[in-house]
A = this chain, B = another copy of it.
Amino acid sequence: MADVAREAGVSVMTVSNVLNERLPVGETTRARVMAAVEALGYEVNLTARHLRAGRTDTVAFIAPSFHDYFGEVSDEIALRVESEGRHLVLERTGGGPEQEMEALSVSRLRLYDGVLLSVAGLDIDRLERVRTSTPIVLLGERDAPERFDHVRLANEEGARLATAHMIDGGSRRIVALGGTFDPGHTMSSDRRLGWERAMTDAGLGVDPRYVVPISEYSSAAARDALLEVIDSGLPFDGVCSITDVIALGAISALAERGLRIPEDVQVTGFDNLEMVQFVPPGLTSVDANHEELAEKAVGMLHRRIAGWDGPAEHVVVPVRLVVRGSTRGRA
């Protein structure tokens, strides 16, 4: 900038004023400055500007990865962050708790005016230790410390809807694929609870053999787990998968064993990813309502960034069932 000022024969402040259109600058001076900028190929150093300004006008969305679910969510988030004139950057943690803590290192957080943090692999104790002045909004289905703003889905209700819909379509023995009996709130436990509620509501027993945990949230693991169920001889006529990615594994396993969807087995997913409508016969899925999730989360974050200092808010975003060919019930 000093170089530009020298080249144009003005002071650095004039250069700054021209570039930021802050104070009015004389026409000829402005022209000279712009010419010098061009000639020298000058561009502002944002690092210096950020240091000076004490803010970066940038928000980070930190998540395990941006495949599938978070990929779709990030599109919605980007839209809303940018509409407020801020920049969105994505950081992946890889899902491991160590990396998540690394990304959470408070010094890194301070590079951003605000942070949207998906708490996938992070437990409540570790989160509790995070102390920073940077506003943070948590996204995710796990329990989280009270003091953070937090947005989660209506997990139990979603799984209940899906399961009830399959019961409506005639299923009686429904596998909760990916479900667990974890204490507290987790995605796998909350959604299992919804399955349980639907079964109970329908007067069907809750047999724990039908809760099938999987080693990791991948289609491959889901496929293997369901193949094992099939081969064990446990009879079932429905699969309530706790995510779409897991449902895809289930579909693969059923096809491999020659079971027809939905005639022999109905299948539901959760998330309503873009792709699942194209996997024949179309996956019935709980829509995870990315728009409202993003709307809430970004709204809360911007409010904090603006200095709002109210108590932490904990929002549950409603979901709805999208019926497709993988189930027999009516929409």
**Chain A residues in the interface with B (C-beta under 8 A):** 41, 43-48, 50-51, 56, 60, 65-68, 71-72, 74-75, 78, 87-92, 94, 105-108, 110-111, 131-132, 219-220, 223, 245, 248-249, 251-252, 255-256, 274-275, 277-282
Contact = CB atoms under 8 A, between A and B. Distances in A.
Q: Which 6 A-B pairs have the closest CB atoms?
A: A66-B66, A255-B280, A90-B90, A252-B278, A67-B71, A43-B106
B51 A47 contact: yes
A91 B92 contact: no
Given A219-B275, A251-B279, 16 more contacts: A44-B107, A45-B51, A46-B107, A47-B51, A48-B51, A65-B74, A66-B67, A67-B68, A67-B274, A68-B71, A90-B91, A219-B274, A219-B277, A249-B278, A252-B280, A252-B282
A85 to B, nearest CB: 12
Nearest to A67: B71
A277 B223 CA distance: 11
Contacts of A88: 91-92
Contacts of A223: 278
12 contacts: A41-B131, A47-B56, A67-B67, A67-B71, A88-B91, A90-B92, A219-B278, A248-B279, A251-B279, A252-B282, A255-B280, A279-B279
Given A50-B47, A278-B223, A78 B94 contact: yes
A95 to B, nearest CB: 10
A76 B143 CA distance: 30
A111 B274 contact: no
A19 to B, nearest CB: 10
B43 A132 contact: yes
A47 B110 contact: yes
Contacts of A50: 47
Contacts of A45: 51, 107, 110
A75 B71 contact: no
Nearest to A248: B278
A126 to B, nearest CB: 17
A65 B74 CA distance: 9
A269 to B, nearest CB: 12
B47 A111 contact: yes
Contacts of A282: 252
Contacts of A111: 46-47
B46 A110 contact: yes
A220 B65 CA distance: 24
A255 B283 CA distance: 13
A71 B66 contact: yes
Given A89-B90, A91-B89, A92-B74, A46 B108 contact: yes
B67 A72 contact: yes
A123 to B, nearest CB: 22
A273 to B, nearest CB: 9
Contacts of A46: 107-108, 110-111
Nearest to A278: B252
